[in-house]
Amino acid sequence: MSMKKEKPLILLSNDDGVNAKGLNELIRALRGLGEIIVMAPDGPRSGASGSITSEHPVRYYKVREEEDLTVYKCSGTPVDCVKLALHAVVPHRPDVVIGGINHGDNSAVNVHYSGTMGVVIEGCLKGIPSIGYSLCNHLADADFSALLPYIRRITEEVLEHGLPAGICLNVNFPDVAEFKGVRICRQTNGTWEKEWKVCTHPRGGEYYWLTGQFVNHEPEAVDSDHWALNHGYVAITPTQIDVTAYSIIKDLKNWKLDV
Amino acid sequence: MSMKKEKPLILLSNDDGVNAKGLNELIRALRGLGEIIVMAPDGPRSGASGSITSEHPVRYYKVREEEDLTVYKCSGTPVDCVKLALHAVVPHRPDVVIGGINHGDNSAVNVHYSGTMGVVIEGCLKGIPSIGYSLCNHLADADFSALLPYIRRITEEVLEHGLPAGICLNVNFPDVAEFKGVRICRQTNGTWEKEWKVCTHPRGGEYYWLTGQFVNHEPEAVDSDHWALNHGYVAITPTQIDVTAYSIIKDLKNWKLDV
């Protein structure tokens, strides 16, 4: 499974856009590890999930170029960025695809809404070892400095070992100054509640802002990613692209489904 | 697990928009089975995946009202539609959330891009039995008539049996006049290739349309959803919201991840 080469090719994207601090901190964490190519959205795409652009065409532009670093911005979604980078700008197949560093938590069920994990799942679907990095702090000026050595270490391990086909990593960092260590976790079971803030339009009628509170259904589960984050650990949740619910196949075969 | 009541409450959405033929055919398939509420996007949202709207507020409007049918349109994504319907318009918790009928195939890895399955996964995350229906024909005037009795039957079975927590159904129909039967399947392993059509802008520069060819990595796998569709069967792929890759947790614990 080793993908080790003289100089690894590292493809980065995110969902907070090309100007986000998290992306630039990710570049800082990885400089020197290989050749870095960035294809990031030209503005914020938080909550983009695995969305793709089908109704409009997509464009991209070079933003800057330094030794072993080329940055592009793209008019599409985070997934579009990965697809377009692989088609149009990489000199050869990347050794790793990385999403982040996200300004905000992508643990638990948030994986289903996350544009950062959209990047990562797309890299994984293309057969490339892929990692998402997120910090549980959504502020634009969040402090990412404690994350950088961990990000470098985890990325080095992925470059060294590779990842099995169809499996990627969702790495979340608690918003603390010092981490207690790293835990390998499973996705926490929970639900978003109180999701809408209602406002009244100046010309009448109501509009709704998506917000909400995450309710953890298993706060005591020590193997869950939320437990790790709540206790000061870096949470690595390995994530798979096969979403088949194998456990129910046998039961479903007994349903009366023919007409 | 039974959710049976006197008159089930059925919440519908889709990603092709409130005016799509597939949605109206879905209503036709389900009329008489219960009270139907539709909250659908006000235009096409193909490829919306599980995306949510975070940068703008969202609005909704009533479109029409008949006995046991109320239709709303919403400015947001398919997932927004489900979240907003549950918050703002349903008289009580729905018995089932249904996405579709999608104009196009949502089998195999397409589940990761699908706005239809965004609807379904959101219903499932909210603890409601949820089903996605898709036809392997993306044309606006596709013929859905052969699907209707199957959709009614499958929906009745879900209303009767419920579904386990965290599991929903992804139902795809082949584009044939008559189905050979129903198969319970797993997600096919494959990749999208040749994904971009490049065009030149009248004022110079290139733009890119997302397109592509799906390459099935296991065309002979008789338990896969693509095999079923390619052989004329209705493919039901049970789908889960826990995407943890449990198989790799033990190996990852041996990685050198501390710094």
Domain presence at residue B132: yes
Q: Which of A50, A83, A109 sits opposite B112 (nearest CB)?
A: A50
DSSP string, A8-42: -EEEEE-SS-TT-HHHHHHHHHHTTSSEEEEEEES
Average pLDDT over residues B178-201: 96
Mutate to test the interface with A, among B103, B113, B163, B227 (most CBs of A within 10 A): B113
Domain presence at residue B247: yes
**Residue B238 pLDDT more than 90?**
yes
Domain presence at residue B203: no
What is the reported pLDDT for A258? 86
For residue A5, name the pLDDT band (cuts at 50, 70, 90): low
Q: How far apart are CA B173 and CA B150, in angstroms?
A: 10
The burial of B14, by beta-carbon neighbours within 10 Å (0-12 exposed, 13-18 middle, 19 or more buried), is given as buried
Q: Is the Cβ–Cβ distance between A108 and B241 less than 8 Å?
A: no
- Taking CB atoms and an 8 Å limit, are B207 and A241 in contact across chains? no
**Residue B2 pLDDT more than 70?**
no
Domain presence at residue A207: no
Shortest Cα–Cα distance, A156 to chain B (Å): 9
Determine the structural domain holding residue B126 and report its residue range: 9-188+220-252
Q: Which residue of A has its CA nearest to B170?
A: A244
Kindly state the percentage of chain B with pLDDT values over 90: 96
Could you give phi then psi for residue B112, rounded to 5 degrees? Answer: -75, -20
What is the reported pLDDT for A62? 98
pLDDT tens, residue by residue, A133-169: 999 999 999 999 999 999 999 999 999 999 999 999 9
The CB density around residue B2, as the number of other CB atoms within 10 Å, is 8
Q: Which residue of A has its CA nearest to B59?
A: A207
The CB density around residue A92, as the number of other CB atoms within 10 Å, is 8
For residue B212, name the pLDDT band (cuts at 50, 70, 90): very high
Q: Which residues of A touch B88 (CB under 8 A)?
A: 196, 208
For residue A43, name the pLDDT band (cuts at 50, 70, 90): very high
A92 SS3 class: coil
Domain presence at residue B210: no
Mean pLDDT of chain B: 96
A192 SS3 class: strand
The burial of A19, by beta-carbon neighbours within 10 Å (0-12 exposed, 13-18 middle, 19 or more buried), is given as middle
What is the reported pLDDT for B196? 97
Q: Which of A210, A243, A252 sits opposite B53 (nearest CB)?
A: A210
Q: What angle do CA A92, A16, B201 make, to 5 degrees?
A: 60
Domain presence at residue A203: no
Shortest Cα–Cα distance, B35 to chain A (Å): 22
* B-contacting residues in A 12-51 (Cβ below 8 Å): 44, 46-51
Closest by Cα among A2, A85, A106, A76 to A36: A85
Q: How many helices (H) and strands (E) does chain B have?
A: 6, 13
For residue B38, the domain's CATH number is 3.40.1210.10
pLDDT tens, residue by residue, A170-193: 999 999 999 999 999 999 999 999
What is the reported pLDDT for B6? 80
Q: Is the Cβ–Cβ distance between B87 and B58 less than 8 Å?
A: no
Q: Which residues of B touch A130 (CB under 8 A)?
A: none
Give the number of domains in chain A. Answer: 1
Q: Is the Cβ–Cβ distance between A179 and A215 less than 8 Å?
A: no
The CB density around residue B22, as the number of other CB atoms within 10 Å, is 25
What is the predicted ipTM?
0.95
Domain presence at residue A195: no
* B-contacting residues in A 140-199 (Cβ below 8 Å): 149-150, 152-154, 157, 161, 163-164, 166-167, 181-182, 184-187, 189, 191-192, 195-196, 199
* A-contacting residues in B 115-134 (Cβ below 8 Å): 115, 118, 121, 125-127
**Residue B4 pLDDT more than 60?**
no
* A-contacting residues in B 55-84 (Cβ below 8 Å): 55, 57-60, 77, 79-80, 83-84
What is the reported pLDDT for B259? 86
The size of chain B, in residues, is 259
Average pLDDT over residues A11-30: 98
Q: How far apart are CA A192 and CA B50, in angstroms?
A: 14
Domain presence at residue A194: no
Q: Is the Cβ–Cβ distance between B245 and A124 less than 8 Å?
A: no
Average pLDDT over residues B96-122: 97
What is the reported pLDDT for A122? 98
